[in-house]
């Protein structure tokens, strides 16, 4: 029965993706806003992914870099761009490198051993 119930549920992710694609195709203002916000969204996703890959909670990460859990939550929600000093502390705590370029804006990459 649970399988049947799952089959009846709408595909919200697919519907959402289709809606976003339609909005980007038909609304220039929407497309411009999405392009402008994309770097922050991608950074947020990468930061959360790096924290989870390190097996850390927001509180544990905050303790490692000398800040508070709410400050980490604000970074992950995209309410603030991190300072260079915060990026350095995050990179060290998470074992990652931050890459800034015209193509990637601000991306998080696993740290490569020298």
Give pLDDT tens digits for 63-102.
999 999 999 999 999 888 889 999 999 999 999 988 877 7
CATH, residue 25: 1.10.260.40
If pLDDT is split at 50, 70 and 90, which confidence band does 1 have? very low
Give pLDDT tens digits for 26-39.
999 988 988 888 87
Cβ atoms 83, 74 nearer than 8 A: no
List the domain range (segments joined by +) for residue 31: 2-110
Number of domains in the chain: 1
Show the tokens assigned to 48: 């959360």
């Amino acid at each position: 029965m649970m399988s049947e119930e799952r089959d009846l549920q709408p595909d919200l992710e697919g519907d959402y993706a289709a809606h976003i694609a339609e909005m980007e195709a038909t609304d220039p203002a929407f497309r411009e806003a999405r392009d402008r916000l994309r770097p922050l969204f991608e950074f947020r996703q990468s930061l959360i992914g790096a924290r989870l890959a390190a097996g850390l909670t927001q509180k544990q990460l905050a303790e490692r870099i000398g800040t508070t859990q709410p400050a980490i939550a604000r970074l992950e929600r995209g309410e603030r761009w991190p300072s260079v000093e915060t990026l350095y502390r995050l990179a060290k705590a998470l074992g990652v490198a931050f890459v800034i370029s015209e193509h990637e804006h601000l991306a998080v990459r696993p740290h490569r051993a020298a």
